[in-house]
Amino acid sequence: MNHDYFPSMDTLYSETPPRPDMMTNRRETLEVKLNVLSKTLQTRIGVYQKTMTSLEDAVLEAMQPVERITTLKEYGLPYPREELINAKRDLSTMHGEIRSRDSECWKDITGLMRDILQTWEELQAAKTKEAMMHDE
């Protein structure tokens, strides 16, 4: 078995510093990545707000038959029992959809925030290394 493709201990622990242009490229790449993550977060929040507005409008619309039928019931007038049951079921389904979308959104946002913080830490480290390279 040929072991020439494994790095030697000397190459693993060499003190060869990275070139300054490599450090600048790393910093610039991390800045772009941070910007993309930030825009993605803003877009995700915008989509969430539009979706929630749409679902809230649908809930308000679904509440109208429930309120109408409930008013008939309260006055002792005949009311379509099956329609009331279906309307309440639809309303409950919509509330479940809102909770589901809310949970999905915050799961996405949490992941994006974790990525943003990790990238920011990497960017700060790259800036520090770059500054140290220019001081030498």
pLDDT digits (tens, 9 = 90+) for 95-132: 999 999 999 999 999 999 999 999 999 999 998 988 88
Closest alpha carbon to 123 in 4, 18, 7, 35: 35
Helices (H) and strands (E) in the chain, counts: 3, 0
pLDDT tens digit string along 66-100? Answer: 999 999 989 998 989 999 999 999 999 999 999 99
